[in-house]
């Protein structure tokens, strides 16, 4: 059986790019086996608050479990080999671990040199289940983990998210954002992280920004789902009503039909005014009038290795993703007193002219008083 591996590397606050990162993303269609996972966590040392790293790791597991109710995560305080004997940079030995090390199973490229990662997680899976995950925390960062409050907890919650099958998020409030700003506060899951949990381990309806039912323009049933919303506070909250001067960012995520894994295609966004005038988002990030609804321009490429893929529909510049088009401001675009409806969709190269889309749009309204 084909087993796939993925590396997720976390750089904190260093301003570095990594991965093919993008609202929430799901790396692969497989969940945890039996929705449960046990780590052998050998994490000697103490956190700033007087608890051990092991206790801290348990607390990090609980952040996800408390938010889901459908997953069971546990850790055993026991030293086990993290690395495979077979090759450098491989953790695939059948044991889930969480450890400190100064190299990633003999590969020194992540924890040394100009790009220093706080942790690297390697996950392997087959089409049915996540088989193994290993989190290796950078031993060289231990002095920071030991002294900076919340730092280790942030990194651990993020890395555990990868072991649940979550990729990176474009939503700045998400714990799964590719560039975490650590410390200062206790990590909490954002709406985006909760939607990732709902899509993978819960009920899609538990995601508060689910865009209705998934539909196909050819009338076929689909289990595709669409998520998205407009925010002025980095995704901590999503709204429909805005003040004319609000700086609005709109995030969306396409969760592909399960039969569409590994099929190439495109993302699409269509905006409609109240009068039914249509615009399509182009790959350059801008919206242009839509002439033909049977042939919608691409807003970006559908990535075959992602099960769920996100898109910043409109928003301020963010890190290494789509082009920046700036926030949507009602006064700037003369939209005060108006409502604009944004529909999120995708298509497959093998089915030209067929669009999979969310039945409900993202609504953005500006009051005129
Ligand atoms: Zn990461």
Distance 75 CA to ligand 1 centre (A): 20
Q: How far is the CA of 176 from the centre of ligand 1 (A)?
A: 6
* pLDDT at site 109: 86
CA of residue 159 to ligand 1 center, whole Å:
6
pLDDT at 78: 96
What is the domain class of 4-201 according to CATH? alpha beta
The pLDDT of residue 19: 32
Find residue 250's DSSP bridge partners: 230, 314
Residue 346 CA to ligand 1 centre (angstroms): 25
Per-residue pLDDT tens for 161-215?
Answer: 999 999 888 888 899 987 666 555 778 899 999 999 999 999 999 999 999 999 9
Q: Which fold has domain 209-366?
A: Coagulation Factor XIII; Chain A, domain 1 (2.70.50)
- Report residues of the chain scoring pLDDT below 50: 1, 11-23
Which pTM was predicted?
A: 0.89
Question: Are the C-beta atoms of residues 39 and 78 closer than 8 Å to each other?
Answer: no
Comparing CA positions, the residue from 347, 306, 239, 304 lying closest to residue 22 is: 306
CA of 42 to the centre of ligand 1 (A): 21
Dihedral sign (CA 356, 202, 21, 95): negative
pLDDT at res. 22: 34
Cα 162 to ligand 1 centroid, rounded to whole Å: 7
Distance 70 CA to ligand 1 centre (A): 23
Residue 27 near residue 167 (C-beta atoms within 8 A): yes
**What residues does each domain of the chain span?**
4-201, 209-366
Strand, helix or coil at 86?
Answer: coil
Tokens of 122: 């390697």
Give dist(CA 271, CA 225) in Å, integer.
18
The Å distance, Cα 216 to ligand 1 centre, comes to 32
Whole-number Å distance, alpha carbon 274 to ligand 1 midpoint, is: 40
Provide the 8-state DSSP code for 137: E
Distance 121 CA to ligand 1 centre (A): 8
Whole-angstrom distance, CA of residue 219 vs CA of residue 305? 26
**79 alpha carbon – ligand 1 mean position (Å):** 24
């Amino acid at each position: 059986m084909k087993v796939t591996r993925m590396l997720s590397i976390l750089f904190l606050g260093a301003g570095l790019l990594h991965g093919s990162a993008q609202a929430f993303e799901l790396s692969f269609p497989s969940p945890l086996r039996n929705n449960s996972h046990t780590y052998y966590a050998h994490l000697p040392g103490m956190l700033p608050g007087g608890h051990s790293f092991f206790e801290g790791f348990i607390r990090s597991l609980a952040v996800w479990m408390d938010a889901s109710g459908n997953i069971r995560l546990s850790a055993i305080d026991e030293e086990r080999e993290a690395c495979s004997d077979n090759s450098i940079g491989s953790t695939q030995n059948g044991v889930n671990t969480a450890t400190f090390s100064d190299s990633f199973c003999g590969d020194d490229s992540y924890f040394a040199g100009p790009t220093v990662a706080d942790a690297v997680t390697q996950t392997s899976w087959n089409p049915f289940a996540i088989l193994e995950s290993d989190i290796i925390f950078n031993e060289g960062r231990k002095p920071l983990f030991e002294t900076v409050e919340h730092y280790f907890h942030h990194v651990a919650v993020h890395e555990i998210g990868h072991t649940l099958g979550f990729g990176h998020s474009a939503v700045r409030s998400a714990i799964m954002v590719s560039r975490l700003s650590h410390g200062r506060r206790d990590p909490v899951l954002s709406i985006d992280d909760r939607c990732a949990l709902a899509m993978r381990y819960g009920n899609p309806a538990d995601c508060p920004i689910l865009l209705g039912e998934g539909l196909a323009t050819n009338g076929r049933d689909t289990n595709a789902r669409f998520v998205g919303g407009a925010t002025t506070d980095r995704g901590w909250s999503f709204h429909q009503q805005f003040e004319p001067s609000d700086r609005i960012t709109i995030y969306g995520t396409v969760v592909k039909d399960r039969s569409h894994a590994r099929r190439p295609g495109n993302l699409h966004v269509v905006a409609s005014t109240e009068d039914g005038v249509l615009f399509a988002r182009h790959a350059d990030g801008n919206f242009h009038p839509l002439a033909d609804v049977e042939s919608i321009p691409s807003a970006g490429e559908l990535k075959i290795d992602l099960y769920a893929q996100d898109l910043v529909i409109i928003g301020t510049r963010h890190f290494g993703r789509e082009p920046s088009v700036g926030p949507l401001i009602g006064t700037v675009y003369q939209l005060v007193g108006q409502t604009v409806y944004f529909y999120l969709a995708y298509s497959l190269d093998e089915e030209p002219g067929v669009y999979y889309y969310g039945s409900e749009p993202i609504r953005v309204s500006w009051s005129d008083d």
